[in-house]
Amino acid sequence: MTGMLVTGGARSGKSRYALERALAQSGPRTFIATCQPWDEEMRDRVARHKAERAAQGWHTVEEQVDPAAAIAAAEPGGAVVLDCLTLWLCNLFERDAAYGQDQGAADAAGLAQAMQAYSGLAIAVTNEIGLGVVPGDAVSRRYRDTLGRMNQVLGTALDEVVLVVCGRALHL
């Protein structure tokens, strides 16, 4: 039906916007979480968000490395929200220290295909991290460059791109 990429800075309102758009759809709702909660604060945050979504009828799937498969397995005809590509890329870097732009572009293309094939609204949330200073070390620059490339692949493949800044959505 429709594939959408929602981007912006940290705490800009991206996830809220994505969830609101998905809640406007009829049918089943699947939330695909890529976060690996490494500490107590993050575990508490994940549990709180999961409970909030459950109260709104969301089914949460925790998938840290293959969100395309999770989208393909989601109940059809409703809405899927993948939150977020930034943490997904962290997980991929954790698994493969040499992961880079070419692999990221290929994985993003596979994700875009899965989103386009879904028979409802598929939304991916990402961060725009390329607006700041050039990172001071090689790994951080490779991460920034890889995420930028993944965002470009998804942004050009999907039907809609939304930039959220200060809680306001700008449709690109």
CA proximity to 116, closest of 15, 5, 35, 14: 5
**Farthest CA pair distance, the chain:** 46
Nearest to 147 by CA among 130, 168, 171, 133: 130
Angle at 56 between CA 53 and CA 59, to 5 degrees: 55
> 130: exposed, middle or buried (C-beta count within 10 Å: 0-12, 13-18, 19+)?
exposed
Asked about 49 being catalytic, the answer comes back as yes
Indicate which residue of 21, 29, 49, 53 is catalytic.
49
User: What Rg value do the Cα atoms of the chain yield, rounded?
Assistant: 15
- By annotation, the residues acting in catalysis are 49
